[in-house]
Amino acid sequence: MPAAHARPSSRRAVYDELRRRIVTLDLAPGETLSENELSAALGVSRTPVRESLILLQQEGLVQVFPKVGTFVSRVDPARVADAQFLREAVEVASLDDLPDDLDPEVVERMQRNLREQQEAGGDMERFFELDEAFHHDLLHLAGHQRTWPTVSAAKGHLDRARHLGLQEKATTQGFLDEHRGILDAVLDGRRDHARALLQEHLRGVFADIESVRRHSPELFASSTGVAPRRKNVAVWG
């Protein structure tokens, strides 16, 4: 287990840290989760770890198999599709509510964000953070920024798929170009074009999943529901 960025002191902090590690693939799909090891790594008792794993199980990010063990769940394409549907419905619909006079502070922040995306280069984690902020601000322009926590909470499997997509491409330039195109269309008042670009951008995750699954099928859930076999490492049956 890699060391935590900051030692958590509450169940919420432990949950946030474990969820972050799962979503960013620091804890890989299929990896065994030990309460003792997690407690030691995070410097907390087993109780907040156990409670956090229960919450993560409810999100589908952790699986518990009786008499076998607790594991990071594999990426579930069905859950990815559900989260992408929710995200697309909210973000694309929000463009219908863009005001004629866009908030100049939000626009400037988004333009600065794009410059920082360019500067991020191969720092995939930094780019992911900027990507999240860009889409949050896109909702902010339309006055729907308060929907972001709901969307964000529902997209754990989707975010893992997005991280896999970033690793697969090994470059962020294509995503950056898409972001620029979306913002340019918004600023130019070409709202229909912006909606089409945003929809295509958000659906790109499906092609990424198929590309990764061709060479790493073990990262994804199957329809069989077969439990992993706990050995020295998690081996999925």
Q: Is the pLDDT of residue 154 over 50?
A: yes
Sign for the CA dihedral angle at 6, 10, 11, 13 comes to negative
Ramachandran class of 209: left when φ > 0, alpha when ψ lies in -120 to 50, beta otherwise: alpha
**pLDDT value of position 18:** 96
> pLDDT tens digit string along 174-210?
999 999 999 999 999 999 999 999 999 999 999 999 9
Phi, psi of 32 (to 5 degrees): -70, 140
**pLDDT value of position 227:** 52
Surface-to-core class of residue 231, CB atoms within 10 Å of its CB (0-12 exposed, 13-18 middle, 19+ buried): exposed
Q: Are 8 and 14 in contact (CB under 8 A)?
A: yes
- The mean per-residue pLDDT over the stretch 78-100 comes to 96
Claim: this prediction has a pTM higher than 0.75: yes
Edge-to-edge strand list for the sheet holding 32-33:
32-33, 69-72, 62-65
**pLDDT value of position 226:** 52
Residue with tokens 């474990």: 18
CATH numbers and ranges of domains, the chain: 1-73 (1.10.10.10), 77-215 (1.20.120.530)
Q: Is the pLDDT of residue 235 over 50?
A: no
Enumerate the β-bridge partners of residue 236.
Answer: 228
> pLDDT tens digit string along 16-46?
999 999 999 999 999 999 999 999 999 999 9
DSSP state of 73: P
Average pLDDT, the chain: 90
Closest by CA position to 234, among listed 223, 216, 224, 219: 219
